[in-house]
Structure 1
Amino acid sequence: MDVGVIGQAAGLFAVTNVDDIVILALFFARSAGRRGAGLRITAGQYLGFLAILAVAVPAAFGATLLPGSAIGYLGLLPLALGLRAAWRTWRERDGDGEDDTPVARGGPGPLEVAAVTFANGGDNIGVYVPVFATAGTDAMGVYAAVFLILVAVWCAAGRFLATRPFVAGALSRWGHIALPVVLIALGLVILAEGGAFGL
């Protein structure tokens, strides 16, 4: 196994997924103390990243599954989830603070995390396709393996950040506001950068 390819894969993953650590930290902070939430977040991150690879790998072979014009519309996923989270936060401010929905009881579900990961990875697909196409089949397998290993590292880093006293305090105080804001902003950026709706 070529160490150079492993290093390149690790570097490419880190550069294209820096923003995921912040989102993961917010998910972990909002789910603190909820049984099984960490596993659901990690499972969702893997599902979302596998979906990114499921598009990027065939596209590298020339079987483009997602037209370039559709990438921008992936921003609708985090935008919708952010608006939903904002609505829930707004609704809870005058109530008793208890939301009995399954998401509130157990934190975000795997499909919610996967949707955000996939939508946020729209730009990743654009980067991965040419790299995979020029790397060749063997190197592409190394890239995919390294990426999947680093997803676990990213989840651990997000959880670590969410449990640091200073970060955890800030996220517990402001996380219910920060998560919707980050998701809505992420959705709008993806829509704008992808030229969705003529933006």
Structure 2
Amino acid sequence: MDLGIIGQAAGLFAVTNIDDILILALFFARGAGHPGSTRRIVLGQYLGFTAILAVAVAAAFGATFLPESAVPYLGLLPLALGLKAARQAWKSHRNGAGDQEDTRAEPGGGPGALEVAAVTFANGGDNIGVYVPVFATAGIGGMTAYAVVFLVLVAVWCFAGRFFATRPVVARALARWGHVLLPLVLIGIGLLILVEGGAFGL
């Protein structure tokens, strides 16, 4: 594999996914203490990013599975998930800290794989627009190289998100404010995607 393409792919991934590290850290913080949450978050991140790659590759080959006019409406996904997370945080706050502690160790608690995948895919709507022309000019070999590097870096991003979420200072801050930050970040991303894309005439 050409080192030049590897470097270009790594740079392109980093530039287009830098915000995912914060989102992943919030997901990992929310999943702390829930058995299997790390596996579900990583699976969800891979599912979401694989969907982004599939759409970008299909579009590069000329198959328009996702009309350009529909991309801004992807913002509805993180917006809805953010509102849901805000509702859950409000319920937990009203029920008191004791009830929250009792539910943290329940199997299957924390973020679900499909929830993470939906946020990843919706947040990657802009990525598709960047990847398509790059893929279209890279050819089959170059496109394959980009895809391999991207998928390897998804694992690095997951590790980085978990690393930040488990640092003592960061972990304490996320444990204290994560239930507030996650809904705010998701709602903010959703609104940004909708407004920048001109959805609903915004």
**Pairing of 1:106-121 with structure 2 (within 5 A):** 106-121=109-124
Name the structure 2 match of 1:94.
94
Equivalent of residue 146 in structure 2, options 119, 143, 146: 143
Name the structure 2 match of 1:54.
54
Is the aligned partner of 1:65 residue 2:65? yes
Is the aligned partner of 1:27 residue 2:27? yes
Listed one character per residue, the Cα deviations across residues 55-101 of structure 1 (whole Å, up to 9, x for unaligned) are: 00010011111111100000000000000000111122121343669
Over 4 Å off, 4+ runs: 99-105
Is the aligned partner of 1:156 residue 2:155? no
Is the aligned partner of 1:126 residue 2:118? no
Counterpart contact for 1:79–1:184, Cα < 8 Å: yes
State the AA in 2 paired with 1:109.
Answer: G
Name the structure 1 match of 2:76.
76
Name the structure 2 match of 1:170.
173
- Change in Cα spacing, 1:72 to 1:7, as seen in structure 2 (3 Å) is same
Cα RMSD after superposing both structures: 1.7
| Ranges in structure 2 where 5+ consecutive residues have no aligned partner | none
State the AA in 1 paired with 2:52.
Answer: I
Counterpart contact for 1:103–1:109, Cα < 8 Å: no
Listed one character per residue, the Cα deviations across residues 96-127 of structure 1 (whole Å, up to 9, x for unaligned) are: 34366999952100000000000000000000
Counterpart contact for 2:34–2:104, Cα < 8 Å: no
Equivalent of residue 196 in structure 1, options 192, 195, 199: 199
* Alpha-carbon shift at residue 196 of structure 1 (Å): 0.7
Of all paired residues, the percent bearing the same amino acid is 71
> What secondary structure sits across from 2:192 in the alignment?
helix
Name the structure 2 match of 1:9.
9
| Ranges in structure 1 where 5+ consecutive residues have no aligned partner | none
Counterpart-to-counterpart distance in 2, 1:106 and 1:95: 17
Which range moves more in the overlay, 16-25 or 28-37? 28-37
State the AA in 1 paired with 2:64.
Answer: T
* Alpha-carbon shift at residue 18 of structure 1 (Å): 0.2
Counterpart contact for 2:75–2:191, Cα < 8 Å: yes
State the AA in 2 paired with 1:173.
Answer: R
TM-score calculated relative to the size of structure 2: 0.95
Counterpart-to-counterpart distance in 1, 2:106 and 2:72: 27
- Change in Cα spacing, 1:184 to 1:172, as seen in structure 2 (3 Å) is same
Counterpart contact for 2:34–2:107, Cα < 8 Å: no
- Change in Cα spacing, 1:184 to 1:104, as seen in structure 2 (3 Å) is farther
Name the structure 2 match of 1:182.
185
State the AA in 2 paired with 1:55.
Answer: V
Counterpart-to-counterpart distance in 1, 2:115 and 2:147: 23
Counterpart contact for 2:36–2:107, Cα < 8 Å: no
Q: How many residues align?
A: 199
Is the aligned partner of 1:85 residue 2:85? yes
Which range moves more in the overlay, 31-40 or 18-27? 31-40
